[in-house]
């Protein structure tokens, strides 16, 4: 299922007041446009193909039943990103989750001709985009399933990401300018990455991420050995975490990190920072699936999101898993995939929330 298409957005105005020149959004579709639409955005660092583990003839996201649209975030390396933009566009403009969803709405309505969706769903930053969709365009979809994500990035999550960002930046002797900001280097002194800095920064970032992606219980029970087949913790660090990080572009990651830290679907009219009002505005039936042991997006935050929704709109059912954030994707643990797919099938078939 390789390959993707792009749609030109022209000079794209951003919520920061900047403009992203000659912007493009990458996407891929599965199934016939005559079928009910499902929108499934990508996640932090993920390519379009990284969403395909949840799509197939035996899955809830079945291309013979639905027209599945996977739009790529700005910064993922396929939509407009530092890695595919001219060197003159440095530092890269400040991108928000709202910008990503505005671009997706244009793609889906202007180019693909879809005016309503059956469901919008996503994992991690894909879940954050799902929340943005259902608050920014509350009448666009019947159903929403944000899994292992949040409507607003918590302070603790911002702190976690500061560690990730700082590990990455330290390789080129730069430092963070603060949460939801880039590096502290003045724009006129900004420098790109040489190969040595890139390698050192990405390896450091991967090792910081390793302590957050999976839970304490995952490591305590050594599932990296019994389930993933690594023979040692160091082997797991090098061949899972460092390998993952080294496949990425550091400047792309920083664009997405900044958007993640600033994530807050109440930071838009008409809510103007009133988070509870934003949650109450949601009209789509929303099944929120946090990870029971997720260190990024704990279930307590998800429970509060649902509690703020109009009664009957939201439900919260945690993944009963010790795989931490990775319970929600990208298809690493078969038991978690089966659990998630069963929830999606029940919801898509008749709106049932399966406990």
3-state helix, strand, coil in the chain (%, to 5): 40, 15, 40
Q: How many CB atoms lie within 10 A of CB 172?
A: 18
Report the side by side order of strands in the sheet with 67-71. 5-13, 19-30, 67-71, 37-39, 117-123, 141-147, 285-288, 314-316
Longest dimension (CA), the chain: 57
DSSP string, 245-292: HHTS-HHHHHHHHHHHHT-BTTSSTTTTT-HHHHHHT--SEEEEB-BT
Residue that is written with structure tokens 């059912």 in the block:
317
325 flagged as catalytic: yes
Contact 146, 289 (CB under 8 A): yes
**Pick from 250, 321, 251: which is nearest to 289 by CA?**
321
Residue 147's φ and ψ, nearest 5 degrees, are -120, 130
Active-site residue identified among 249, 294, 301, 336:
294
294 is catalytic: yes
Of 124, 150, 176, 215, catalytic:
124
DSSP letter for each residue of 304-353: HHHHHSPTTTEEE--B--SSGGGGGSSS--HHHHHHHHHHHHHHHHHS--
Q: Which of 45, 94, 321, 325 is catalytic?
A: 325
How far apart (Å, rounded) are the C-alpha atoms in residues 109 and 115?
A: 6
Active site positions, annotated = 124, 294, 325
């Amino acid at each position: 299922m390789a390959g993707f298409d792009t749609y030109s957005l022209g000079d794209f105005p951003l919520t920061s007041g900047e403009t992203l020149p000659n912007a493009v959004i990458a996407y891929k579709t599965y199934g016939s446009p005559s079928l009910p639409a499902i929108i499934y955005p990508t996640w932090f660092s993920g390519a379009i193909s990284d969403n395909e583990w949840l799509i197939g003839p035996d899955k809830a996201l079945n291309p013979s039943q639905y027209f599945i649209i996977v739009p790529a975030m700005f910064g993922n390396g396929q939509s407009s990103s530092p890695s595919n933009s001219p060197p003159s566009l440095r530092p890269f403009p400040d991108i928000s989750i709202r910008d990503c969803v505005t671009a997706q709405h244009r793609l889906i309505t202007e180019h693909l001709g879809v005016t309503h969706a059956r469901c919008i769903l996503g994992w991690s930053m894909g879940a954050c985009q799902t929340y943005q969709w259902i608050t920014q365009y509350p009448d666009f979809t019947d159903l929403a399933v944000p899994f292992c994500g949040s409507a607003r990035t918590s302070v603790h999550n911002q702190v976690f990401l500061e560690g990730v960002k700082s590990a990455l930046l330290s390789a080129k002797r730069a430092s963070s300018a603060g949460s939801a900001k880039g590096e502290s280097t003045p724009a006129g002194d900004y420098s790109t990455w040489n190969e040595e800095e890139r390698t050192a920064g990405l390896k450091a970032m991967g090792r910081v991420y390793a302590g957050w992606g999976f839970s304490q219980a995952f490591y305590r029970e050594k599932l990296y050995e019994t389930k993933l087949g690594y023979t040692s913790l160091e082997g797991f660090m090098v061949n899972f975490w460092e390998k993952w990080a080294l496949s990425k572009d550091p400047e792309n990651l920083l664009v997405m990190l900044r958007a993640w830290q600033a994530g807050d679907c109440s930071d838009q009219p008409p809510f103007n920072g009133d988070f509870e009002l934003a949650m109450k505005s949601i009209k789509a039936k929303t099944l929120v699936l946090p990870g029971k042991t997720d260190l990024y997006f704990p279930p307590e935050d998800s429970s509060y999101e649902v509690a703020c929704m109009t009664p009957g709109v939201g439900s919260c059912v945690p993944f009963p898993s010790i795989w931490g954030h990775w319970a929600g994707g990208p298809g690493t643990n078969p038991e978690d995939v089966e659990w998630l797919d069963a929830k999606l099938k029940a919801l898509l078939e008749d709106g049932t929330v399966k406990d």
